[in-house]
Amino acid sequence: MSGIHLFVPMLHVRDAVGEHTRALRDLLVAEGVDCRIYIENPDPNTVHETRHYLEYEDDAIAGDVLVYQMATRSDMVAWLAGRPEPVVVNYHNITPSEYFAPWNNWIARHQALAVLELEDLAPTAALGIGVSTFDADELRRCGCPEVVVVPVANVRIPPTPPDPTTLATLRGPEGEDGPRWLSVGRLAPNKAHQDTIAALFIARATTSPEARLTIVGSPSEPAYARALRRYAAELGMHGAVTFVSGISDGALAAHYVAADVLVMLSEHEGFGVPLVEAMSHGLPVVAFAAGAVPEVVGDAGVLLEEKGPRRVAQELAALIDDPVRRESLVVAGRARPAALGLDRAGSDLVAALLGVAGRAPGVSGVPGSDVPLRPAAPLSH
Amino acid sequence: MSPDVPAPDGGPDADVTSDVADRIRYLDEVMAEIDAEVRRRRASGDLPAGLEQELDELFLEFSPVGLQGRARLRETLSLVDGSAYVDIAVPTSSNKAVGSYVKRAIRKGLGWYMNFVVAQIVKFAWSVSRMFHVVVDHIEDLEATVEANRSPDLPSGLVPATPTGSTWWAPAAVDALVGVSDRVVVGDCGDGSLVEALTAAGVDAYGIDPSDIALEPALDRGADVRAEPVLGHLAVVSDEALGGIVLTGSVQWLRPNERVRLLDLASTRLVVDGILVLHSSSPAAWAATASPVVRDLAPGQPLHPETWAHLLRSRGFTVTATIFGGDDRQLARVGAGAADAAEVNAAIDAINDLLLGPTEYLVVATRER
C-alpha cells in the first residue's frame, strides 16, 4: 500500500516543527494511511520512531507522497528533488541568516543555504503548504505553483491542563503579587528576548517595581542564551528573570495559567505557536507585529508596531491595570484558535495531502485519496 | 498607635496628647506625599534620556560582534578563525550509486586544481586572522596599561559641591558677560543662582550640572537648567554657538586629558570675541581645605591661574582679568604700638605671601581667533 511519508532534518520533541510532524503522522495513521518519519540526523529522544532518509529507497512504493517539513537546510532537499514521487513542501519558515550571523557563523550559512534549497525545491513541488499566509507568500515568491494555507497541527484544543504541582510552585506564597510576564520561545537571536528584558527593566524602574519575567525556551543558540543571562544580571535583575527549558506540556501550561501576560517581541515568526497556546489558556498577549504574528493574533491581543522598552512597559502596565480590557482580550483569545481553524487544522492538512495522493501516478490503496484538494482559507486578520 | 503617645484622657496631658497626635498625622501626610511623588515619577517614566540606547549598547556588549565597551574580542576572533578554513573534501554521497561514483571522480580529477587554489585562499585567510591576533594582543596590552594608570572615580558623596547661593565671584562673572548677545552656558551651575543673576542682567544664560539633586532648587524655580556634564554638553553643541562659557566646580579636578579636551571644545564652541570665565580654588587652598580622601582620589587638582592663562593663550584666548578672592585666610598685622611690631609684621607678611594667599580666583578670557 502506498503511503504519505514525512521528511524532516531532525525530529525533536517540544519543538514546533518536530511536534507538528509527529502530530501529522498520528493523524495520517489514524486515517489508515501508511506513514513513517524519515530524518537526516537522529535525535536520541526520537530515534526509535524515525528512519534515515536514504532507507526510504528500499521502502518506496509507487504512489507514495513525500512531505518535507522545511525550516532549515538539509542534504535531504537535493535528494527529494531527484525523487520521482510527488513532493509536498510543508513550510514553517526559514529564519533569515542575518539574525544568526553575529552569533553563529555556521548556522547563518546554514540558513542562507536553506533559502537557496527552497528556491530549488519549491518550483517542482506538487503542493506548498504554508502554516500562515506569511509563509504561503514566501512559497509563492520562490515559485511554488500551488500553495495552500493550513496552520500547524500540533496545537492542542482544548489546551493541555496545567500540571498542579508546577502551578502551585509558580503561584507561590501569598504576597508575591508583582505582575508575572511570560515569554515562550527558543533562545535564538530572532526571538529578541533581550527586548523583553529591557522592557522589564524599565517597568521595574517605573510602573511595576515587582514585575518578574519567565522565559521558557531551549537555549538553541548557546552564545545568545549566555548573553541574555549576562544582560539580565548586568541590569541587576538576576532574581527577576527566570530561564526555564525542557519542561513538560503540563508544566508549560502551568506557566501560561500562572502568568499575567505573554510578551512576544520576536522579530521573525512563521506562525508563533506560543501565541495561540497562551490565548487558549486565557492569557492576554502583547506581541510585536512581525512576520505572521498579526494574522495569528488578530484582534485578540495587543499588537505593537514598535517595541521600544518604554512603549512595551507602558502597554503591559496599561493592560494589567485594566481588568475590563484584559477580560475582553481573554474572551477574544479563547475564541482565536477556532477562528484560525486550528481545531480543524489536522483534518485540513490530511485532506490536502490525500488530495495530492489522489493525483499521484500509480496510487494504490491510500484511503480517502479521492478527496479533492481544497485550498484552506487564508487566516483572518 | 505609637507607645510614646499618651492616652487621650482629657486630663492635664490633653494638650500634649493633641500635639503628639498632630505631629504623627503630619508625619503620615508627609510620608503619603513622598509615596505619591515616587509613584508619580515611576508612572511618568521619568528616567534619564538615552536610557534605551544605553540598554541596547549594554546588550551589544554581550554580542560577539558588539565590539563595544568590554568587547568580546577573543570570541569574535574565534569566529574569524573558524571561518578561515576551506574544506576541499566535497561530499560525494548520492542516492544513486553512479552519482556517488561520478562525484568521487570529479573530486579526484579536480583535486590538484582545487588544492592549488584553496591553499592560497587559506593562506590569505590565516594571514588576516594572524594579523587580527596581533592587533588584539596589542589592544589587550594597551587596555591593561590604561587600566593600571586609571585613577578611581571620586565617590559621588565626596565630590565637592558647587557653592550655592551668592558667591564672591558671581558679580565679577556677571560683569564680564553683560552685553554678550549669544547664549551663555554655566557649567556645574548647582542651584542655578548664577544663571538667574545673568538672566536678570539681560544675558541669555542657561545652566548644566551633572547632579539631578543639585539642580532641584533651580528646577523648582523654573530656571533654564538641565542635567548634563560639561564635557558631554559641549561635545554636542555646534561650533561658535555660544557667546560665553562659565566653568567652575569639576573643572578643578578634571583629568589632564579631559582638561585639554574641555579647552579645545570651549575654544571652538565660543564665537570669536566670546567670553570664557573660569573659577577655581587655588592649589594651596585645595591642599589645605579639601578632605584628604578627595585630595588623594581626585583624578586632577586645581591649577595656578598662571597655568590656566598659559593654556588659554595657547588656544587663541587673551586673558583679560585675573581676580583673586574667597575666604581671607591671611593673618592680620599687629598694630604699630605693639612690641617688635615691625619684625612681627614682616614675619606675618612673609607667612601670608608664602602660605596664605587668596583661596580662589577667577580668570576671564576672550577668544581672539
CB contact under 8 A, A231 and B75: no
Helices (H), chain A: 16-30, 56-59, 76-81, 97-100, 105-121, 133-141, 164-171, 193-205, 222-234, 249-258, 273-280, 293-297, 309-320, 323-339, 345-359
Per the listing, cell 521600544 goes with A308
**Long-range CB contacts (within 8 A, 24+) of B356-359:** B356/B329, B356/B330, B356/B331, B357/B282, B357/B284, B357/B324, B357/B330, B358/B282, B358/B285, B358/B324, B358/B325, B358/B326, B358/B328, B359/B281, B359/B282, B359/B284, B359/B285, B359/B289, B359/B326, B359/B327, B359/B329
Q: What is the pLDDT of residue B47?
A: 62
For A247-264, what is each residue's pLDDT tens digit? Answer: 999 999 999 999 999 999
Closest CA to B354 of B335, B334, B329, B324: B329
Q: What is the pLDDT of residue A175?
A: 55
CB contact under 8 A, A230 and B62: yes
Q: Which three cell numbers stand for residue B113?
A: 586544481
Rounded alpha-carbon distances, angstroms, from residue A241 to A107, A231, A232: 27, 10, 7
CB contact under 8 A, A206 and B55: no
- Which CATH class for the B158-329+339-367 domain? alpha beta
CA atoms of A66 and A35, how far apart (whole Å): 10
Helices (H), chain B: 14-43, 51-61, 73-83, 97-149, 170-177, 193-200, 212-220, 230-236, 256-269, 283-289, 292-297, 305-314, 341-355
* Residues in chain B within 8 Å Cβ distance of A54: 95
CA atoms of A228 and A238, how far apart (whole Å): 11
CA atoms of B340 and B337, how far apart (whole Å): 9
Cα pseudo-dihedral A361, A365, A371, A375, rounded to 10: -60
CA atoms of B314 and B335, how far apart (whole Å): 46
* Residues in chain B within 8 Å Cβ distance of A228: 62
Q: Which three cell numbers stand for residue B228?
A: 548634563
Cα Rg of chain B (Å, integer): 34
Q: Which three cell numbers stand for residue B324?
A: 583673586
CA atoms of B32 and B26, how far apart (whole Å): 10
Residue of chain A nearest B92, judged by CA positions: A75
* Residues in chain B within 8 Å Cβ distance of A82: 95-96
Task: Please provide the distance, in angstroms rounded to a whole number, between the alpha carbons at the two ends of chain A.
Answer: 41
CB contact under 8 A, B58 and A202: no
Min Cα distance B327 → chain A (Å) is 44
Q: Taking the complete model, does pTM exceed 0.90, yes or no?
A: no
For residue A319, what are the contacts with CB-CB under 8 A and spacing of at least 6? A261, A284, A286, A302, A325, A326, A329
Closest CA to B363 of B306, B283, B285: B306
Domain A164-337 CATH (choose: 3.40.50.1820, 3.40.50.2300, 1.10.150.120, 3.40.50.2000): 3.40.50.2000
CA atoms of B208 and B198, how far apart (whole Å): 14
CB contact under 8 A, A227 and B59: yes
What one-letter code names the amino acid at B270?
L
State the best of B39, B40, B57, B63 to mutate against chain A, taking most chain A CBs within 10 Å: B63
If pLDDT is split at 50, 70 and 90, which confidence band does A375 have?
A: very low
Q: Which three cell numbers stand for residue B208?
A: 548644566
* Contact between B208 and B248 (Cβ < 8 Å): no
CA atoms of A304 and B289, how far apart (whole Å): 57
- Per-residue pLDDT, averaged over A326-338, amounts to 94
Closest CA to A364 of A151, A128, A61: A61
* Residues in chain A within 8 Å Cβ distance of B62: 226-228, 230-231
CB contact under 8 A, B62 and A205: no
When comparing pLDDT for A113 and A293, which is higher? Answer: A293
Of all helices (H) and strands (E), which one includes residue B179?
A: none
* Contact between B330 and B352 (Cβ < 8 Å): yes
When comparing pLDDT for A138 and B146, which is higher? Answer: A138
Q: What is the pLDDT of residue B67?
A: 46
Residue of chain A nearest B79, judged by CA positions: A105
Per the listing, cell 505557536 goes with A273
CA atoms of B184 and B178, how far apart (whole Å): 10
Q: Say how far residue A350 (Cα) sits from the centre of its chain.
A: 19
CA angle at B194 for the pair B192 and B200, rounded to the nearest 5°: 105
CA atoms of B188 and B214, how far apart (whole Å): 9
3-state secondary structure string across B102-134: HHHHHHHHHHHHHHHHHHHHHHHHHHHHHHHHH
For B45-58, what is each residue's pLDDT tens digit? Answer: 556 656 777 787 77
Min Cα distance A351 → chain B (Å) is 30
> Is cis: bond before A158, omega within 30 of 0?
yes
CA atoms of B205 and B180, how far apart (whole Å): 10
Min Cα distance A79 → chain B (Å) is 7
Min Cα distance B90 → chain A (Å) is 13
Asked if residue A149 has pLDDT above 90, the reply is yes
Q: Count Cβ atoms within 10 A of the Cβ of residue A238 and give its class: 0-12 exposed, 13-18 middle, 19 or more buried.
A: exposed
Q: Facing residues of A244 across strands?
A: A216
CA atoms of A337 and A273, how far apart (whole Å): 10
Q: What is the pLDDT of residue A372?
A: 35
Q: What is the pLDDT of residue A378?
A: 39
Angle between helices B193-200 and B170-177 (to 10 degrees): 40
A193: three-class secondary structure by DSSP? helix
Residues in A whose CB is inside 8 Å of some CB of B read: 54, 57, 75, 79, 82-83, 102-103, 105-106, 194, 198, 201-202, 205-207, 209, 223, 226-228, 230-231, 234-235, 308-310, 313-314
CB contact under 8 A, A309 and B45: no
Residues in B whose CB is inside 8 Å of some CB of A read: 41-47, 51-52, 55-56, 58-59, 62-66, 75, 79, 82-83, 91, 93, 95-96
* Residues in chain A within 8 Å Cβ distance of B82: 105-106
Q: What is the pLDDT of residue A228?
A: 94
Q: What is the pLDDT of residue A353?
A: 94
Under-50 pLDDT residues of chain B: 1-11, 67-70
User: Beta strand A147-149 with B242-247: parallel, antiparallel or unpaired?
Assistant: unpaired
Measured in degrees and rounded to the nearest 5, phi and psi for residue B253 equal -120, 30
- Per-residue pLDDT, averaged over A143-163, amounts to 88
Nearest CB neighbour to B63, from listed A202, A207, A227? A227
Q: What is the pLDDT of residue A163?
A: 95
For A17-60, what is each residue's pLDDT tens digit? Answer: 898 999 999 999 999 999 999 999 999 889 999 999 999 999 99
State the best of B59, B60, B81, B129 to mutate against chain A, taking most chain A CBs within 10 Å: B59
**Long-range CB contacts (within 8 A, 24+) of A135-138:** A135/A91, A135/A92, A135/A93, A135/A270, A135/A271, A135/A292, A136/A91, A136/A378, A138/A91, A138/A93
* Residues in chain A within 8 Å Cβ distance of B58: 231, 234-235
CA atoms of B83 and B41, how far apart (whole Å): 50
Q: Which three cell numbers stand for residue A356?
A: 495530492
State the best of A207, A265, A306, A311 to mutate against chain B, taking most chain B CBs within 10 Å: A207
Asked if residue A381 has pLDDT above 80, the reply is no
Q: What is the pLDDT of residue A97?
A: 81
Q: Which three cell numbers stand for residue B75?
A: 570570541
State the best of B37, B38, B42 to mutate against chain A, taking most chain A CBs within 10 Å: B42
Question: For chain B, what are the domain ranges?
Answer: 1-39, 84-147, 158-329+339-367
| Every domain range in chain A assigned CATH 3.40.50.2000 | 4-151+341-359, 164-337
Other CB atoms within 10 A of residue A198 CB:
28
State the best of B47, B51, B55, B94 to mutate against chain A, taking most chain A CBs within 10 Å: B55
State the best of B95, B98, B102, B129 to mutate against chain A, taking most chain A CBs within 10 Å: B95
CATH of domain A4-151+341-359: 3.40.50.2000
**What DSSP string runs through B335-352?**
PTTSTTHHHHHHHHHHHH
Q: Tell me A176's DSSP state.
A: -
What one-letter code names the amino acid at A305?
E
* Residues in chain A within 8 Å Cβ distance of B41: 206
CA atoms of A335 and A354, how far apart (whole Å): 29
Per the listing, cell 494511511 goes with A33
When comparing pLDDT for A2 and B10, which is higher? Answer: A2
What one-letter code names the amino acid at B54?
E
CB contact under 8 A, A57 and B55: no
For B141-187, what is each residue's pLDDT tens digit? Answer: 888 888 887 776 666 666 666 555 568 899 999 999 999 999 999 99
- Burial of B258-273, coded b for 16+ CB within 10 Å and e otherwise, reads bbeebbebbbbbbbee
Closest CA to A186 of A160, A222, A155: A222
